[in-house]
Structure 1
Amino acid sequence: MIKKAQLPLQTANLVIGFMVWVLLSSLLPFITEDISIPPERLAIVTAVPVVLGSVLRIPLGYYANILGARIIFIISFILLLFPVYYISETSSFTGLIIGGTFLGIGGAIFSVGVTSLPKYYPKEKHGLVNGIYGMGNIGTAVSTFAAPVVATQIGWSMTVKLYLILLLVFAALNFILGDRQEVKVKTPIVEQIKGVYKNEKLWFFSLFYFITFGSFVAFTVFLPNFLVTYFELEKVDAGMRTAGFIVVATLLRPVGGWLADKFQPLFLLMGCFAGLTIAAILLAFSPEIGLYTIGSMLIATTAGIGNGVIFKLVPFYFNKQAGIVNGIVSMMGGLGGFFPPLLLSTIHSMTGSYSIGFMAFSQVALVSLVFVVWLYYMDRVALAKDVFDSTGQGILVTDDKGKILSVNPAFTQLTGYTEEEVIGSNPNLLSSGRQSKQFYTTMWSIIGEQGAWQGEIWNKKKNGEEYLELLTINEVRNSSGEIERYVGTFSDITPSHEEGRRS
């Protein structure tokens, strides 16, 4: 019963964490009525919670494996009580920065669930499970929509204090319903980092999440104030539009995870980054509110699906180091939400336009698309190499002139020759001398006519021992029909030959 409760419980935890995380950006139009904040510093107020919310994801993801999700969630919610209360009582810009920094704990708990929940489900469901958990992003929409409505009735300070009640309730729920028996993984953090930091996939996934989740966070904290100042919308209207953006991105996250369980995840990412590129170019032309809404919704759609796809890929490629990798990747996603608002504000203050910032975003998305395509083809090459290296048959590849280009480990095991010893040589170095010249003439004649030959042939190992092999030779042609190489596969059938002679 407790194990079945973990997915809904941890998803609800994330809702609360993200509600707290975007508290300042949700209420900023109200806060600025009481606290004087220079326009050029508004972006800093909304961005500071993102910093700690990103950096803390590494240790929280790691300690979720060491201590279990239950303990980490309880501690996080108790710690959040202090900055929330501090913000409700502050009356200065400095106070908002100090309190806002520690609100980042609410965003950092994301890495706890994506580390813990896959332990309860088979690998073919990890995409969907992490996607459902990721729907906790809806917490940003709840705050963005509800906080302004409540603040119009009781003021922003009392609205902030209501979050204290939610934090206490969920700390208690995790104490009661959290899984005390969760499987723990106690590999030291230094060993985990050493095991993954040289893997280029870690940094590719970090970049991809930097763009997809970063664009989600950036628009979440950027839109409320932007819609009020640029389009002169009412504060509640701006909050509802931003909430719509968040809801679309959040609901599509499990869809992305489910699609990644069913189809090639990298193909899905290609579509996501193509969509982000197009949307950012559209926004760069500073359209009127209708087209701006379309561009924003396209970003919500592609970012939401992309977020779900990426956290299918992480446990697939990093099963034993999922905690630390989830922490690093999700940290980069959080930082992706920190820089764009600051960049857009800086560019706007210098040029009076947001167009250059959106165009820069489109180029980063386009570069990411190129990287996904490259990673897909590198995966295919790696798969082919794994098959080449692991097959039990000896394989040698020659060019069209018969010079050896490559051999596999089974070739070395069967013949005694290492790859370095045979590269550039002719396969006749294996010749035993038993076959006549006519034998080889006939063999190559058949290959020339049919493109392949199979038969038995006596060859000689490096130590001089003769052996009978079953050999298959196939020619490989390019798109122009010209022969590029020959591939020979063989196995030692001497034991069965001698057994047949004895019988």
Structure 2
Amino acid sequence: MNQDVAHGNRANAYVALTLATIAMIVCFMSWSNFAPLAAQVGKMFNLSVSERTLLLATPVLLGSIMRIPVGILSDKYGGKKVYLILMAFILIPLFMIPRVHSFGMLIFAAFLVGMSGTSFAVGVSYASVWFPKEQQGLALGIVSMGNMGNAVASMTLPYISKSYGFTAVYNFLMVLTVVIGVIFALCCKEMPVDKTKTLKGALSVTKESSTWYLSLFYFLTFGLFVAFTNLTPLFLTGLFNYSAVKAGLYAALFAFVCTIIRPVGGAMADHMRPMALLQWVFIAIIVFALVIMFSFHVQAMFIAGIVLVGLAAGVGNGVVFKMVPYVSTGNTGAVTGFVGAMGGLGGFFPPLVIGWIHDWTGSYELGIALLVLTGVICWFALWKHFIKGDFHIVK
């Protein structure tokens, strides 16, 4: 079925790809809304470093876990329907956030807005059916550029808050979500679905060892993207006394670099052995993380390390998702949900751990050392199972 669709109406395919990407950008703006405003929110609620990192991590939790059922629902009922329901739901926490008056309620609203992160599973599931497998590395790399919503949020939200007030930020996000939802509803066709699919059948992807290996690798690469997009403003305002707007621009630079390089990684994986390429990605992440670890008091080197690790992680994201459609035919949404969930959790834990370590030790270096260790573990698993071994996802 996928091949027939892929070689059918190309206009439908390109419209689906374009609007799925734009919708993901808008959803990711909501998902990452707290990162560029962390300093302001911290002052409003008198938060410690660990409380700020908890606030940054909370939306990532629900947005990660719920990628699994949302990806399955997209395969069964259609990505268009699920996307529209998701965008309608996001309006609830966006309305709540500027109106809460306690840290507990703020955390609750942050938890709900985390649903916007599931747009990744919907977008990949919806866009993938319109293209043949030999083109999916590039196509999925393009739709995954919806991650750029983090960069757009970092560039725009601090300015809106400074110029028009904190509440205006969320009014802006609500209006933007409604406008994109209406355009998506009017212009996109529903994807072909197999309504005979069952939850048990979708969960069969957990029996594939490849699902778990890709999940581990994405835990590192996408986790880096989420964690450092959220943490960069905290680092720059706390260590180098940047203003919230300037720190947001640097966070946007990181998110932009990590996102724009992702289709390049997917396209490279279309023409090279993906796992061999991924080995060099992990080596680069380890090296650049070490640069960050030893440059917390050297501004230029620190920023260079952030940008370079973003480049490596972005290429890795594209490579990993090149392989997703090969794991279980017809269950792309389910595999995307599992792999995406692990990637999201990779962005959930680092801010919490780094915040706790900072409160205990007064420094961030040990937290980055744990990132280096994770990179080594991923490299070893890749080398042992795919490089030295004879197991291949893509032949």
TM-score, normalisation: structure 1 = 0.74
Paired with 1:299 and 1:199, the residues of 2 have a C-alpha distance of 30
What residue number does 1:52 align with?
A: 62
Q: Identify which of 247, 250, 259 aligns with 2:259.
A: 250
Counterpart check, 1:77 vs 2:54: no
- Given that 1:65 and 1:186 are in contact with CA atoms closer than 8 Å, whether structure 2 keeps it comes out as no
What residue number does 1:8 align with?
A: 18
What residue number does 2:8 align with?
A: none
Counterpart check, 1:176 vs 2:186: yes
Greater CA drift, 60-69 or 172-181: 172-181
Instruction: Please give the residue correspondences for 1:119-198 in structure 2 after superposition, counting only pairs within 5 Å.
Output: 119-180=129-190, 182-184=192-194, 186-193=196-203, 195-198=204-207
- Per residue, is there more strand in 1 or in 2? 1
Note the C-alpha offset of 1:321.
2.3
| 3-state SS of 2:269 partner | helix
Paired with 1:268 and 1:128, the residues of 2 have a C-alpha distance of 15
Paired with 2:186 and 2:391, the residues of 1 have a C-alpha distance of 49
Q: 1:91 to 1:266 in 2, by over 3 A?
A: same
Counterpart check, 1:270 vs 2:279: yes
Instruction: Please give the residue correspondences for 1:211-222 in structure 2 after superposition, counting only pairs within 5 Å.
Output: 211-222=220-231
Q: What amino acid sits opposite 2:377 in the alignment? A: V
What residue number does 2:375 align with?
A: 365
Counterpart check, 1:323 vs 2:357: no
Q: 1:239 to 1:381 in 2, by over 3 A?
A: closer
Counterpart check, 1:108 vs 2:115: no
Work out the number of aligned pairs and report it.
383
Question: Which digits, 9 at most, give the CA deviation of each residue in 1:95-136, with x for residues without a partner?
Answer: 210111011111111001211222111111111001001111
Note the C-alpha offset of 1:381.
5.7
Q: 1:250 to 1:382 in 2, by over 3 A?
A: closer
Note the C-alpha offset of 1:336.
0.4
- Given that 2:38 and 2:234 are in contact with CA atoms closer than 8 Å, whether structure 1 keeps it comes out as yes
Paired with 1:181 and 1:274, the residues of 2 have a C-alpha distance of 38
Note the C-alpha offset of 1:191.
2.2
Note the C-alpha offset of 1:240.
0.6
Q: What amino acid sits opposite 2:285 in the alignment? A: L
Q: What amino acid sits opposite 1:134 in the alignment? A: S
- Given that 1:15 and 1:136 are in contact with CA atoms closer than 8 Å, whether structure 2 keeps it comes out as yes
Greater CA drift, 373-382 or 2-11: 373-382
Q: What amino acid sits opposite 2:71 in the alignment? A: G
Paired with 1:35 and 1:353, the residues of 2 have a C-alpha distance of 23
- Per residue, is there more helix in 1 or in 2? 2
Paired with 1:184 and 1:200, the residues of 2 have a C-alpha distance of 24
What residue number does 1:99 align with?
A: 109
Paired with 2:140 and 2:100, the residues of 1 have a C-alpha distance of 37
Q: Identify which of 356, 363, 386 aligns with 1:376.
A: 386
Larger of the two Rg values belongs to structure = 1
Note the C-alpha offset of 1:40.
2.5
- Given that 1:22 and 1:143 are in contact with CA atoms closer than 8 Å, whether structure 2 keeps it comes out as yes
Counterpart check, 1:305 vs 2:305: no
What residue number does 1:227 align with?
A: 236
Question: Which digits, 9 at most, give the CA deviation of each residue in 1:343-386, with x for residues without a partner?
Answer: 11111111111111111111110111111122324663679xx9
Q: 1:190 to 1:181 in 2, by over 3 A?
A: closer
Q: 1:322 to 1:2 in 2, by over 3 A?
A: closer
- Point out which structure has higher relative CO (alpha carbons under 8 A, 6+ apart): 2
Q: 1:45 to 1:181 in 2, by over 3 A?
A: closer
- Given that 1:36 and 1:93 are in contact with CA atoms closer than 8 Å, whether structure 2 keeps it comes out as no
Cα root mean square deviation, aligned: 1.6
Q: Identify which of 180, 204, 219 aligns with 1:210.
A: 219
Q: What amino acid sits opposite 2:172 in the alignment? A: L
Note the C-alpha offset of 1:276.
0.7
Unaligned runs of 5+ in 1: 387-503
Note the C-alpha offset of 1:32.
2.7
Q: What amino acid sits opposite 1:318 in the alignment? A: S
TM-score, normalisation: structure 2 = 0.93
What residue number does 1:43 align with?
A: 53
- Given that 2:42 and 2:48 are in contact with CA atoms closer than 8 Å, whether structure 1 keeps it comes out as no
| 3-state SS of 2:340 partner | helix
Counterpart check, 1:260 vs 2:272: no
Note the C-alpha offset of 1:314.
1.0
What residue number does 2:354 align with?
A: 344
Unaligned runs of 5+ in 2: 1-10
| 3-state SS of 1:103 partner | helix
Note the C-alpha offset of 1:186.
3.6
Paired with 1:24 and 1:381, the residues of 2 have a C-alpha distance of 41
- Given that 1:54 and 1:330 are in contact with CA atoms closer than 8 Å, whether structure 2 keeps it comes out as yes
